[in-house]
């Protein structure tokens, strides 16, 4: 069958916040842009984001500014962040939020009519611009509206809505194509018909989001199989920080069919507290040394903070997510968990019912519908869930460029910005800041191109063979391979790790790599989920190997990587990034790379006493 072909300047893979913002920018720079997404247009993780987008606008507390946000982000990431990304993010996030308003977004307001901002873990001041607990929906709606507005402009000028920007929905990319070292396009298939498709394009922006589906308990939906991470690796790019996975402290634990679904951090930001089976607010017992001076040590002080932040320290329920997730894990392990194996999150005794319904409408609905729990009268049961990967494609901070010429990445698929742990709300702002920068980076790259790379027929043929192979086999069942991978990653490379267990996971992965060669999908190409999963497995296995190998090498505990056998955060390890690469996709190599030293003016934003907790003596000596 003939393969459908399209010619573009920029192919953006992913239609979440990062992908849409990148596509808008590329089109605004006059580039012909394709947006390709695996699911329906509008159904990306971004749409599920509840709490808000972090931006130091200072609307609720005028002491907030980019420097405070930068410091909070670096602290949250335990100083492993790419400082240049953290700087750009903190400086540019307010403009990106205001830009959304100019494009039609309507954020909740303060009494004096400014964009309202809410508290979130690890943020010193109320900083999350939000729309109730449905911020992601408004963000995506606005960006889609902007895409449509640009298409309408193009219709006026060129008589064709899709002259400069076209969406290819329910279309999965399985390979990036190269001409020599440089990107020349992308190969994929339509999920509905199984027909194959090739994009000829000198640039690809990866915006494919996360990897959660390698774990059993996850807040991520079906399409998060680490495709962009794997596509980048297979094209010769590098992944960094893959050992750092964020287990969100509060996922639903009951009933089993909804285990892992997210319970937004806004519940705690708006006053919700965590209690164990003895009724104790246990987070006071888990404030780590590095945060001791910033968090309240008594319930009275913590409660006063909600109305008087200038004179009180914040409640420990609002510690960064890694700390809260580990604390919940410890309480459950110590036998002080809730009946269904989580802990209690209670907002019902903290806010009037009407206020809960106003501030947390989705949570109220979610618990009523899925668990028959009324959160205005009873506590929720919650536990950690695999939520976000800090690791991803190593990119140039300013342009989003990966090591492969013509390849760019933005959003969750890129690495560096969040270091070892992301603060809540910093993802939505990350998507906007770096989505725009990647769109610009791709446009500038094209402007500088002397010769346009060409797609070779040999590369198309090899991608075609690979994509169709599972349909020609009847061997292993893809669902069984997937389940075994998910169980192993969950149990052996989960929230608390140790060398023996990680090695065991790596052995399982090796066996699954052999089995995946035999995975077959019964039936034909027309909407065949078994075939789709068979193709996704290559990506999940590659990504899981990166996570496990990096987790085994990093002999310390930091952010989203906790080693039972190396429980301490080691200053020497802060200076090292673990970098994953592959030559032919059959295995992953992980090497150490020095972390770039922070620029002096940024270094000077911190109190030296605080830096001492993270940096080596040698690093302090400047």
Active site residues per annotation:
321
Q: Does 11 bind ligand FAD (CB under 6 A)?
A: no
Q: Which of 239, 267, 347, 428 binds ligand FAD (CB under 6 A)?
A: 428
CB 139 within 8 A of CB 428: yes
Instruction: State in angstroms the smallest separation of the CB of 16 from ligand FAD.
Output: 2
Rg over CA atoms, the chain: 23
DSSP string, 140-185: HHHHHHHHHHHHHHHHHHHS-TTSSEEEEESEEEEEEEEETTEEEE
Contact segment (CB under 6 A) with ligand FAD among 35-43, 485-493, 525-533, 576-584 equals 35-43
- Letters for 134-153 (x = contact with ligand FAD by CB under 6 A, - = none) are -xx-----------------
CB 30, CB 9: distance < 8 Å: no
Number of other residues whose CB lies within 10 A of the CB of residue 153: 15
If one asks whether residue 432 binds ligand FAD (CB under 6 A), the answer comes out as no
The stretch among 17-25, 155-163, 323-331, 599-607 that binds ligand FAD (CB under 6 A) is 17-25
The DSSP symbol for 138 reads H
- Provide the mask over 240-279, with x wherever binding to ligand FAD is found by CB under 6 A and - wherever it is not: ----------------------x-----------------
Q: Is 50 in the site for ligand FAD (CB under 6 A)?
A: yes
- Which x/- pattern, by CB under 6 A, does the window 214-233 give for ligand FAD? -----xx--x---xx-----
Among 173, 360, 363, 579, the residue binding ligand FAD under the rule CB under 6 A is 173
Strands 203-206 and 407-409: parallel
CA pair distance 13, 169, nearest whole angstrom: 10
Q: How big is the CA angle at 153 (ends 147 and 158), to the nearest 5 degrees?
A: 120
* Site for ligand FAD contains 37 (CB under 6 A): yes
d(CA 297, CA 304): 12
CA quadruple 45, 46, 51, 57: dihedral, nearest 10: 160
Answer for which of 51, 405, 415, 559 binds ligand FAD (CB under 6 A) is 51
**Nearest Cα to Cα of residue 9 among 231, 247, 29, 248:** 29
Shortest Å distance, C-beta 263 to ligand FAD? 9
E strands of 514-585, at which residues? 576-581
* Rounded Cα–Cα distance for residues 500 and 564 (Å): 11
What Å distances lie between residue 574 and 67, 192, 589, 619, CA to CA? Answer: 21, 46, 20, 11
Indicate the residue among 16 and 315 with the shorter CB distance to ligand FAD. Answer: 16
Strands 589-594 and 273-275: unpaired
Please, which residue, 262 or 578, has the CB nearer to ligand FAD? 262
Q: Which residue among 126, 209, 315, 405 contacts ligand FAD (CB under 6 A)? A: 209
Minimum CB separation from ligand FAD for residue 607, in Å?
27
Q: Tokens 């991520």 map to which residue?
A: 220
Using rule CB under 6 A, residue 36 touches ligand FAD: yes
Tell me how far apart the alpha carbons of residues 188 and 197 are, in angstroms, rounded to a whole number: 5
Do 108 and 131 touch, CB atoms closer than 8 A?
yes
DSSP label of 557: -
Q: Is cis: bond before 255, omega within 30 of 0?
A: yes
Residue number with CB closer to ligand FAD (228 or 315): 228
According to DSSP, the β-strands at 273-275 and 380-389 are unpaired
Report angle CA 120, 123, 125 to the nearest 5 degrees: 95
Instruction: Report the residue number, 52 or 185, with the smaller CB distance to ligand FAD.
Output: 52
Asked if residue 45 binds ligand FAD (CB under 6 A), the reply is yes
C-beta of 206: minimal distance to ligand FAD in Å?
9
CB of 246: closest distance to ligand FAD in angstroms?
9
Closer CB to ligand FAD, 287 or 547, in the complex: 547
Other Cβ atoms closer than 10 A to 350: 15
- In angstroms, rounded to a whole number, what is the distance separating the alpha carbons of residues 500 and 506? 10
Residue in 334, 348, 349 with CA at minimum distance from that of residue 278: 334
Smallest gap from Cβ 412 to ligand FAD, in A, equals 4
CB nearest ligand FAD: which residue? 16
58 binds ligand FAD (CB under 6 A): no
Q: To the nearest whole angstrom, how small is the minimum distance from the Cβ of residue 223 to ligand FAD?
A: 5
Q: Which of 33, 82, 117, 208 binds ligand FAD (CB under 6 A)?
A: 208
Q: Tell which positions 327-386 bind ligand FAD, by CB under 6 A.
A: none
Q: How far apart are CA 44 and CA 33, in angstroms?
A: 19
Near ligand FAD by CB under 6 A: residue from 11, 12, 34, 44? 44
Residues 247, 273: Cα–Cα separation, whole Å: 18
Q: Is 46 in the site for ligand FAD (CB under 6 A)?
A: yes
Total binding residues toward ligand FAD, as defined by CB under 6 A: 42
- Per CB under 6 A, the segment of 45-53, 302-310, 324-332, 394-402 that binds ligand FAD is 45-53
* Residue 442: CB minimum distance to ligand FAD, A: 15
Residue closer to ligand FAD (CB basis): 32 or 229: 229
Segment contacting ligand FAD (CB under 6 A): 41-49, 96-104, 368-376, 500-508?
41-49
Residue 93 · residue 433 · CB < 8 Å? yes
Interface residue with ligand FAD among 8, 9, 11, 14 (CB under 6 A) is: 14
First to last CA, the chain: 64
Spatial separation of the C-alpha atoms in residues 167 and 163, rounded to whole Å:
11
CA distance 268 to 285: 17
CB atoms within 10 A of CB 483: 12
49 versus 253: smaller Cβ distance to ligand FAD: 49
x/- track of binding to ligand FAD for residues 383-412 (CB under 6 A): -----x----------------------xx
- Shortest distance, CB of residue 128 to ligand FAD, whole angstroms? 7
CB of 377 to ligand FAD, least distance (A): 24
| C-beta of 36 vs 150, nearer to ligand FAD | 36
Q: Residue with structure tokens 């592959």?
A: 582
Q: Among 40-48, 376-384, 512-520, 521-529, which window interacts with ligand FAD (CB under 6 A)?
A: 40-48
Residue linked to tokens 């490379």: 493
Please state the separation of Cα 375 from the chain's center in Å: 28
Note whether 176 binds ligand FAD by CB under 6 A: no
Give me the residues that bind ligand FAD (CB under 6 A), please. 13-19, 36-39, 44-46, 48-52, 135-136, 172-173, 207-209, 219-220, 223, 227-228, 262, 388, 411-413, 424-428, 431
């Amino acid at each position: 069958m003939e393969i459908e072909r399209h010619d573009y300047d920029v192919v953006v893979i992913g239609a979440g916040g990062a992908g849409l913002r990148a596509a808008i920018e590329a089109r605004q720079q006059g580039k012909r842009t394709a947006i390709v997404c695996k699911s329906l247009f509008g159904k990306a993780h971004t749409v599920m984001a509840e709490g808000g987008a972090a931006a130091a606008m200072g609307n609720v507390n005028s002491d907030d500014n980019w420097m405070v946000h930068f410091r909070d982000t670096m602290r949250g990431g335990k100083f492993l962040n790419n400082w240049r990304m953290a700087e750009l993010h903190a400086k540019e996030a307010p403009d990106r939020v205001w830009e959304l308003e100019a494009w039609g977004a309507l954020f909740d307001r303060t009494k004096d009519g400014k964009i309202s901002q809410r508290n979130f873990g690890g943020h010193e001041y109320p900083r999350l611009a939000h729309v109730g607990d449905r911020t992601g929906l408004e963000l995506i709606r606005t960006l889609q509206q902007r895409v449509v507005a640009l298409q309408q402009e193009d219709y006026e000028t060129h008589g064709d809505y899709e002259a400069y920007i076209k969406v290819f929905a329910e279309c999965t990319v399985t390979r990036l194509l190269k001409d020599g070292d440089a990107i020349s396009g992308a190969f994929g298939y339509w999920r509905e018909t199984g027909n194959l498709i090739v994009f000829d394009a000198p640039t690809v922006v990866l915006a494919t989001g996360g990897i959660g589906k390698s774990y059993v308990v996850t807040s991520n939906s079906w399409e998060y199989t680490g495709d962009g991470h794997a596509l980048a690796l297979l094209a010769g790019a590098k992944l960094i920080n893959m050992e750092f996975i964020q287990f969100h402290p509060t996922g639903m634990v009951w009933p089993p069919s909804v285990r892992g679904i997210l319970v937004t951090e806004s519940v705690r930001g708006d006053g919700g507290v965590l209690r164990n089976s003895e009724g104790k607010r246990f987070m006071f017992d888990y404030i780590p040394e590095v945060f001791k001076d910033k968090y309240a040590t008594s319930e009275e002080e913590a409660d006063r903070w909600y109305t008087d932040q200038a004179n009180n320290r914040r409640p420990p329920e609002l510690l960064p997510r890694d700390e809260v997730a580990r604390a919940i894990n410890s309480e459950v392990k110590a036998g002080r968990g809730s009946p269904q194996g989580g802990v209690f999150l209670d907002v019902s005794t903290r806010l009037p019912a009407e206020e809960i319904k106003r501030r947390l409408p989705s949570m109220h609905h979610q618990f009523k519908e899925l668990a028959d729990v009324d959160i205005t009268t009873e506590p929720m049961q919650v536990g950690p869930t695999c939520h976000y990967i800090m690791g991803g494609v190593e990119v140039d901070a300013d342009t989003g460029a990966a090591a492969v010429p013509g390849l760019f990445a933005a959003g969750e698929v890129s690495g560096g910005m969040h270091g070892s742990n992301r603060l809540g709300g910093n993802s939505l702002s990350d998507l906007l800041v770096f989505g725009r920068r990647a769109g610009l980076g791709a446009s500038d790259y094209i402007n500088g191109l002397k010769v346009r790379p060409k797609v070779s027929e040999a590369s198309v043929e090899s991608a075609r063979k690979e994509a169709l192979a599972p349909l020609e086999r009847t061997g292993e069942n893809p669902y069984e391979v997937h389940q075994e991978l998910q169980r192993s990653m969950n149990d052996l490379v989960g929230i608390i790790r140790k060398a023996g267990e990680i090695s065991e996971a790596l052995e399982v992965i090796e066996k699954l790599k052999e089995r995946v060669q035999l995975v077959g999908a019964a039936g034909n190409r027309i909407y065949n989920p078994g075939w789709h999963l068979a193709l996704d497995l290559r990506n999940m296995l590659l990504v899981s190997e990166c996570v496990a190998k990096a987790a085994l090498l990093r002999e310390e505990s930091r952010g989203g990587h906790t080693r039972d056998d190396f429980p301490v955060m080691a200053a020497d390890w802060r200076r090292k990034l673990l970098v994953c690469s592959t030559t032919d996709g059959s295995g992953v190599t992980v090497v150490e790379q020095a972390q770039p030293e922070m620029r002096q003016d940024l270094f000077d934003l911190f109190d030296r006493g605080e830096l001492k907790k993270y940096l080596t003596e040698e690093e302090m000596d400047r």
